[in-house]
Structures are given as C-alpha cells and as structure tokens.
C-alpha cells in the first residue's frame, strides 16, 4: 500500500481500491512496527511486512476484542507504510496499539491481525504552582513545576521521548484576549510580568508530543479596602470605624491615623482579617483622620493586591456638663453654675443666658483640669435657661472641637 496523504484520513477512513482478495485465506502481516515519522512528532509511522501485495485493514486499539478506536483501509498497490496523525491517539487509555490485517473496506472477511508494540499517548499532567509573589499594584513573579508523572504502563515504548514538557504562559483580564508572558523574563518554569490591572488570571500550558494541558495557577484581585468614619463624635462616646475588603482569605489590615491633614500617618493597630469586614472601636480619642492599609498577600493560588482606603475625618467635640446645684433661689441671691469639661484641661468657657429671642453673654468662666464655677445673681422672678460654650482646644497635640453644654435652668422666686 502507499503512504496516506493527509486528506485521506478525514473521518478516520481511507477508501481502498477495487482489489478483492480472499482475506480469510491470506497470511497475517508480520513485523508491525511504529516510530515517529519525523522530528516534529506530529505523526506516527506504521510499517509492516507482507508476503504478497494485499489491501490492508488498520485498527487503533485499546482493549482486545473491543470495537477499535479508529479504523482505516489501504489499497494493495501501495507501500506497507502509513503516517498516522498523533492526534488519533486518545490520552485517556493507558495502553494503545495498532493492528494490521489483510482486508478490503466493505468486505466482511478480513485476515488475522498482527499488532504493533504497545504505547501510551499521555499528555502532561497539569502544571502546579510553586510560588506567587505580588509586587506593586499588579506585578507578579510566578514559579511552577511539572505535575505528578502518571505511571507509564508501556515503559520504553518506541514512541517514548526523553524530553521535558514545553511550557507557555499567559494572563487574562476578564473577557479580554489572553496575553502571552512567555517572552517576558521567562526561564524554564518562571515568569515575571506586570498586567496594569490587579484583577487577572495566570495560566500555564504544558505541551508534549501528545498534546497540551493548561492549568490556571493564579487568580488575582484587588483587596479594595473601605473605611467608614463618623464625621462627629462627642468625647467619651464610643467611636466605631467599620470597613470591608474583597474576599475572606487571611490578610493583614492596618489602621492608620494622623492628627491633621499635614501631619504624618502612624499605625494605630493592625489585625489579621478572615471575614471580609472589620470594626475598630475607640474612646477618649482626639479629632483624627483615618485610613486602612492592606499589604499585598497570597492565600493558596489567590493573590490579593492591597492598597489604601479613602481617608475619613472624625471630629471630636468636648463633652460639656453644667448645672445649678441649687436650681431655685430667691430674688437677689447668687446661684453657682458648675462646669465640667472633658477631656480635662485648663481654659476659659463662656456662660450664656437665653433672653427670649437670643443667647447673650453672662461672662467668661475659668476652668482648671476641666472644672470651673460661674456665678449668677438673680434679680427677676421666673425661670431662665443658661448654657456654657467651650471653644476648640489643642490638648497633647490633638484637637477637640468647640461644644455647648446642655441647657440648664435657674428659677427665681
């Protein structure tokens, strides 16, 4: 028979010529051998010997007696050779072989089969991640290794090649086309690249003579931390800062603060987050700006790019308490108006009186360590509302904003 041209293999069949033989009486082919057709390893060369020119039936088999995986025929006037695409050989079978017999297509009678040496067509196992090291906002250095070797049940078969897998790698952002990173600092099983986008996947394709196996090794995303900062809080009340970050893989979340928009940031606290949300609660703090920082992190095959949340400002007001210990006096008597300021410091407050349509100043009141007393001499019967105003102050480098006390009432009889 002659060598098949490529088009003759479509559908797994090569039509025979018009030669008719008594196949059952023909001798079986001998010396059925296989080897690679050339150095490209794209085709398997099948050869055999026969005592006389006969048409042949070619089978690709995986189990004795089963329906063949592929089947084709040759004419009698051709060399005893066929180049068969390697893609004919499915990788899911641990053993394969070709068998050759005398026989014509359409003739129910065929001669006895003679088989080639067995071989396997195993594709490489999926590559495995060794390490992934993120850098900056979208850089990644990756190392991988070959997957576990499947047991070879046909050791040293004629088609075995002592060649390592050939790797190629690429990243993909969403539904955009894959971008090859092979030429970018690729050496064996390493790649180092920058995507320009923190959300991408990185895959490696491992190829041998039988085909390609591709594995997604890295799934990268942005942590996207947030922080909600209440704009105002009264000193001594609880301050709750809440935020979220994408995913629940373990990552360090660092809370930072600064006392003014021009001062340096410093770390307040940090913690390992595994829930995707966090809350920081404080008391007795000055006015500050806050943000969270999340460093780059790796969790298994997941790479998280960190970053900063938006900056939030919390303004803290003085907590001011005031009262008349004796809230009812006779006309002409003097009433004491106590003052308490938190945080405690030294300063001057203003005592004010409500006169029906507006607040008027009674006078300044000094306080020490947050405590002070003002005095009111009552001359008119009736009830009058009073309050203290405490101005903004800087205490130990922190700002506490101005605040009024609740209204308190003096009744004169």
- HEC states along 265-317? CEEEEEEEECCCEEEEEECCCCEEEEEEEECCEEECCEEEECEECCCEEEEEE
pTM over 0.85: no
| Claim to verify: residue 58 and residue 39 sit in the same structural domain | yes
Measure CA 368 to chain center. Answer: 56
| Claim to verify: residue 240 and residue 253 sit in the same structural domain | yes
- Residue 142 resides in a domain: yes
pLDDT band at 399 (very low <50, low <70, confident <90, very high): very high
- Residue 226 resides in a domain: no
- Residue 296 resides in a domain: yes
The average pLDDT across 307-332 equals 97
Last residue of a domain, one of 190, 220, 250: 220
Picking from 7-16, 26-35, 283-292, 315-324, which range would have the lowest pLDDT averaged per residue?
Answer: 7-16
Model pLDDT for residues 350-375, shown as the tens digit of each residue = 999 999 899 999 999 999 999 999 99
Last residue of a domain, one of 166, 198, 220: 220
| Claim to verify: residue 23 and residue 49 sit in the same structural domain | yes
Confidence (pLDDT) at 102: 93
pLDDT at 1 over 60: no
Confidence (pLDDT) at 142: 96
The average pLDDT across 235-239 equals 96
Model pLDDT for residues 121-140, shown as the tens digit of each residue = 999 999 999 999 999 999 99
The tally of domains found in the chain comes to 4
pLDDT at 10 over 50: no
Kindly report the CATH number assigned to the domain that includes residue 164.
Answer: 2.60.40.10
The average pLDDT across 81-107 equals 92
| Claim to verify: residue 176 and residue 197 sit in the same structural domain | yes
| Claim to verify: residue 132 and residue 162 sit in the same structural domain | yes
Model pLDDT for residues 143-161, shown as the tens digit of each residue = 999 999 888 899 999 999 9
Confidence (pLDDT) at 24: 52
Last residue of a domain, one of 251, 281, 316: 316
- Residue 369 resides in a domain: yes
| Claim to verify: residue 350 and residue 376 sit in the same structural domain | yes
Confidence (pLDDT) at 22: 54
Mean pLDDT score across all residues of the chain: 91
Q: Which residues are 199's β-sheet partners?
A: none
pLDDT at 84 over 60: yes
Range of the domain at 158: 128-220
| Claim to verify: residue 299 and residue 326 sit in the same structural domain | no
| Claim to verify: residue 299 and residue 347 sit in the same structural domain | no
């Amino acid at each position: 028979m002659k060598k098949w041209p490529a088009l003759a293999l479509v559908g797994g069949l090569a039509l025979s010529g018009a030669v008719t033989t008594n196949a059952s009486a023909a001798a079986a082919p001998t010396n059925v051998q296989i080897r690679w057709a050339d150095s490209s390893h794209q085709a398997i060369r099948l050869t055999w010997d026969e005592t006389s020119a006969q048409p042949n039936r070619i089978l690709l088999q995986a189990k004795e007696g089963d329906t063949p995986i592929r089947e084709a025929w040759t004419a009698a006037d051709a060399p005893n050779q066929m180049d068969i695409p390697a893609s004919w050989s499915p990788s899911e079978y641990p053993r394969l072989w070709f068998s050759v017999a005398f026989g014509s297509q359409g003739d129910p009678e065929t001669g006895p089969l003679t088989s080639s040496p067995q071989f396997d067509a195993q594709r490489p196992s999926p590559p495995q991640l060794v390490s992934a090291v993120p850098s900056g906002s979208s850089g990644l250095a990756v190392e991988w290794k070959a997957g576990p070797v499947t047991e070879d049940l046909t050791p040293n078969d004629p088609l075995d090649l002592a060649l390592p897998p050939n790797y190629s790698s690429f990243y993909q952002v969403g539904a955009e086309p894959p971008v090859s990173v092979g030429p970018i600092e690729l050496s064996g099983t390493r790649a180092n690249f920058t995507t320009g986008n923190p959300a991408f996947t990185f895959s490696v394709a491992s190829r041998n003579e039988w085909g390609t196996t591709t594995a997604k090794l890295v799934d990268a995303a942005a942590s996207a931390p947030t922080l909600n900062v209440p704009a105002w809080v009264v000193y001594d009340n609880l301050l709750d800062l809440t935020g979220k970050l994408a995913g629940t893989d373990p990552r360090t979340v660092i809370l930072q603060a600064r006392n003014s928009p021009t001062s340096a940031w410093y770390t307040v606290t940090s913690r390992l987050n595994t829930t995707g949300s966090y809350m920081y609660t404080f008391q007795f703090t000055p006015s500050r700006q806050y943000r969270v920082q999340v460093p780059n992190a790796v969790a298994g095959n997941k790479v998280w790019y960190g970053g900063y949340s938006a900056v939030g400002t919390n303004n803290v007001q003085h907590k001011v308490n005031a009262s008349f210990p004796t809230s009812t006096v006779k006309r002409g008597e003097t009433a004491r108006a106590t003052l308490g300021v938190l945080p405690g410091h030294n300063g001057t407050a203003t005592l004010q009186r409500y006169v029906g349509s507006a607040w008027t100043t009674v006078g300044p009141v000094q306080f020490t360590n947050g405590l002070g007393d003002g005095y009111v001499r009552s001359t008119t019967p009736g009830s009058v509302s009073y309050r203290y105003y405490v101005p903004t102050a800087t205490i130990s480098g922190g700002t506490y904003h101005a605040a009024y006390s609740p209204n308190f009432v003096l009744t004169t009889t």
